[in-house]
Structure 1
Amino acid sequence: MIHQIRIDNFKSLVDFEIGLSRFSCLVGLNGAGKSTVLQALDFISQQMRGDIDSWLEQRQWEPRDLGSKLTAKQNVDISVQVETEKHGLIEWSASFNRQSLRCTTEEAFCDGVRLLKVEDAEFWIDRSVKQGSLRDVRSEIMFEYQGSILSQLKRKQIGEPLQALKEVLANIRSLDLLSPEHLRQRTRDSAGHLGLGGQKLSAYLHEQGSEVRQRLLEKLQHAYPQLASIDTRSLRSGWKHLDIAEQFSGKVLSTPARHVNDGLLRLLAVLSQLASDEHFLLFDEIENGINPELVEFLVDALVESEHQVMVTTHSPVILNYLEDEVAKQGVIYLYKNAKGATQSIRLFEIPSLAEKLQFMGPGEAFIDTQLTELATEIQSLSAKGGKDVSAAKR
């Protein structure tokens, strides 16, 4: 699980830190940086996949779009803390150069022992946390790559702790551009994932096989009892087609994906990812297109998932279905400081919200609050404490 990230010089994120729970929910005013945080996590994941060019093309971005207008820095600095079951806490930091599209410096530590160092076109690797010296495996970098050097090195080259770090970060999966238009598209293959907008849904479900589709059907039937089947087939030239069948009065009606309602398609996409092998799932404005009576079903599925999950929302309804402890740990308020940089704090660590939570539900406390006034309260706390109170980063 990823416990904490720090990123500097990524869009509105300047010296930005955030602490993460198993389930995290970002709230805040429009423009506060909620979507940017999801994009930053996806950017961090791309460091371990290595194809930065394709990722930028997917988002229709240029390298210059990554940097913040609030600073003159060129590199994007990253720091991540990952808790692994076998190796404990692993810390990785890197400096990403927007011209070369690679991390020009990197370090990784496990239990205080340095596992990796990249500097001056050379790298050092310690394959075991029990070893103490990196000098014996110092190597000159003689190959081209993008992102982290770990994206190009194999398991036998880097050892188990670094491989565990690589897998956790590489298996962050963002669906922050999820939309009905994308979900309805036919595609030839999915490469094992849905795509940022869910545009590979038909191919993804086809490749997962009938058993996976049956399990998804059984889950969805709790929300849509009339569902009869989720069917896919391969067309000419390899295109994959998706049909949803429903039963009414004993008659089965099959509907192609291009005519299926938005909410069902979105739920199908979300649940398919909760059944995947990804480690960390990111969803933007999770309530979009979902009927209010199905929100509890969706929230329960996200909170109870074995995956680490982050969502953004503008809806107090989402918070209403969170247990108080889940809300205390996972709901994070984002706002911009006087310089325009995004800041974070756990919503219910703000005194006025903590007080309301004693006699209101999380959603009720949220809707009873003027978000425009919270920044003033946070600033007053910072002034009294003499330090930054962005507690969500600790």
Structure 2
Amino acid sequence: MLERLYVNNFRCLVNFELKLDRINLLLGINGSGKSCVFDVLRKIQSFIINEEKVSDIFPSNDKTNWLGHDIQRFELDISTGEHSKYSYKLDIRHDDLHKKVKVTKEELRVDEKPLFVFCDDKATLYRDDHTVLQEYPFNLWRSGVGYISERKDCTKLTHFTRELERLIVVRPIPALFEKVSPNEDSLLTEMMENFPSWYRHVSLDSEFGTKLTTELANVLLGFRSLNLIPLGENAKLLKASFDSPSGIKFSLNFSSLSDGQKMLIALYALFVFSSLQNQGVSLFIDEPDNFLALPEIQPWLSTLFDACGESVEQTVLISHHPEIIDYLGNAHGRWFEREGNEPVRVRDKPKQAVDGLSLSETVARGWEQ
């Protein structure tokens, strides 16, 4: 699970530190930096896992405009089921005059012992016992951690990349979900546009399909199943089957469902997928309550809350929904504050509570500031 994130010189995040538990709710007004946190996680994933160029992932316009510094710093602390803690650090220098972006430092350590260090144009790769395996000059434009392929004497390093893959960071927008799945996809896109293709991949596990059907039958009236229908050589069409009140069976294209129905299916699919992974998946979901009514979001939230720390490794949500605020805000809230163009700061508790008012009512009036 992700225990700590540190960011400096990224948009409104300056000398910013966020510590997380098994379940957290990020709260704050729009523009207070909550979504920036998720953006940082996605960018680091793209940089390491997808091995994308640093200039493509971290453009200069992502620097804090009023800070005037050339260096951006990012740090992650991730704990694992083996009771080890990975610490990852990345420094990026922006040369605005020559329009160049390069990595100046990249480090990965486990329990404070080195696995990979890049500094002063030289990379050092360490074995699992932390003895030096190799020193070599390295490309300044990509991740050295992501570049290392799996090998038997560097399993701790490649285990970190797998842990990073287990952070699912999404902002679901059902209207953007693809109508037809062109192929299987093991990783979700930011807005879950490729949900049918991801479902196509994860449904190869029959236990996933069985458990998801059971969950959805409890929350979608008449729901029977999701089915993938061949459409041409490789493409498949996702369809949902229902029973009508009169007992007639019928199917609808997934794209024909309402945004609320698609959102429910996507949220329960995320929950079921996470709960079935032996080594745990962490869910980071931006505004899961969009398109859903109060009676629809509450059962999902309760199910997810009960599973966190057991079958689901970690859950971090961003929400303005009163039900979610009242359910999680007091014990699990992280309150983002920003005055004008000042840097973002985070509290574990709101500045003040109001006797006789629920937390969501206090927030609605702006009295928690």
TM-score normalised per structure 2: 0.85
In structure 1, the partner of 2:64 is: 68
Shift in CA distance, 144/189, structure 1 to aligned 2, threshold 3 Å: farther
In structure 1, the partner of 2:28 is: 28
Question: Partners of 1:112 and 1:210 in 2: how far apart?
Answer: 37
In structure 2, the partner of 1:309 is: 315
Question: Partners of 2:14 and 2:241 in 1: how far apart?
Answer: 49
Q: Secondary structure at the match of 1:32?
A: coil
Matches within 5 A, 1:226-265: 226-248=222-244, 249-265=246-262
Give ranges in structure 2 of 5+ residues lacking alignment: none
In structure 2, the partner of 1:204 is: 198
Does structure 2 retain, via aligned residues, the 8 Å contact 1:92–1:107? yes
Matches within 5 A, 1:173-192: 173-176=168-171, 178-192=172-186
Instruction: Write out per-residue CA displacement over residues 6-33 of structure 1, whole angstroms, 9 at most, x where no aligned residue.
Output: 0111111111110111112111111111
In structure 2, the partner of 1:141 is: 137
Q: Secondary structure at the match of 1:41?
A: helix
Question: Partners of 1:62 and 1:141 in 2: how far apart?
Answer: 22
In structure 1, the partner of 2:157 is: 162
Q: Is residue 2:51 matched to residue 1:92?
A: no
Q: CA RMSD in A?
A: 2.8
Letter of the 1:297 partner, please give it: P
In structure 1, the partner of 2:299 is: 297
Shift in CA distance, 153/87, structure 1 to aligned 2, threshold 3 Å: farther
Question: Partners of 1:285 and 1:300 in 2: how far apart?
Answer: 16
Q: Is residue 2:218 matched to residue 1:216?
A: no
Shift in CA distance, 194/124, structure 1 to aligned 2, threshold 3 Å: closer
In structure 2, the partner of 1:330 is: 332
Give ranges in structure 1 of 5+ residues lacking alignment: 376-394
Does structure 2 retain, via aligned residues, the 8 Å contact 1:42–1:174? yes
Does structure 2 retain, via aligned residues, the 8 Å contact 1:206–1:233? no
Does structure 1 retain, via aligned residues, the 8 Å contact 2:330–2:359? no
Shift of 1:55: 11
In structure 1, the partner of 2:105 is: 105
Question: Partners of 1:53 and 1:190 in 2: how far apart?
Answer: 25
Shift of 1:369: 4.1
Matches within 5 A, 1:373-392: 373-375=367-369
Letter of the 1:344 partner, please give it: V
Instruction: Write out per-residue CA displacement over residues 355-394 of structure 1, whole angstroms, 9 at most, x where no aligned residue.
Output: 85xx87xxx223224664544xxxxxxxxxxxxxxxxxxx
Does structure 1 retain, via aligned residues, the 8 Å contact 2:78–2:86? yes
Q: Secondary structure at the match of 2:209?
A: helix
Question: Partners of 1:157 and 1:9 in 2: how far apart?
Answer: 37
Shift of 1:145: 5.8
Shift of 1:142: 4.7
Q: Secondary structure at the match of 1:268?
A: helix
Question: Partners of 2:46 and 2:93 in 1: how far apart?
Answer: 14
Question: Partners of 2:146 and 2:183 in 1: how far apart?
Answer: 23
Shift in CA distance, 294/17, structure 1 to aligned 2, threshold 3 Å: same
Letter of the 2:298 partner, please give it: E
Does structure 1 retain, via aligned residues, the 8 Å contact 2:239–2:254? yes
Question: Partners of 2:54 and 2:190 in 1: how far apart?
Answer: 12
Shift of 1:329: 4.7
Between 71-80 and 14-23, the greater mean CA deviation after superposition: 71-80
Does structure 1 retain, via aligned residues, the 8 Å contact 2:116–2:145? no
Q: Secondary structure at the match of 1:108?
A: strand
Matches within 5 A, 1:279-298: 279-298=281-300
Question: Partners of 1:231 and 1:297 in 2: how far apart?
Answer: 24
Does structure 1 retain, via aligned residues, the 8 Å contact 2:338–2:345? yes
Question: Partners of 1:192 and 1:101 in 2: how far apart?
Answer: 30
Q: Is residue 2:16 matched to residue 1:16?
A: yes
Question: Partners of 1:368 and 1:143 in 2: how far apart?
Answer: 52
In structure 1, the partner of 2:2 is: 2
TM-score normalised per structure 1: 0.80
Q: Secondary structure at the match of 2:151?
A: helix
Q: Secondary structure at the match of 1:187?
A: coil
For these two proteins, the number of residue pairs brought into alignment is 353
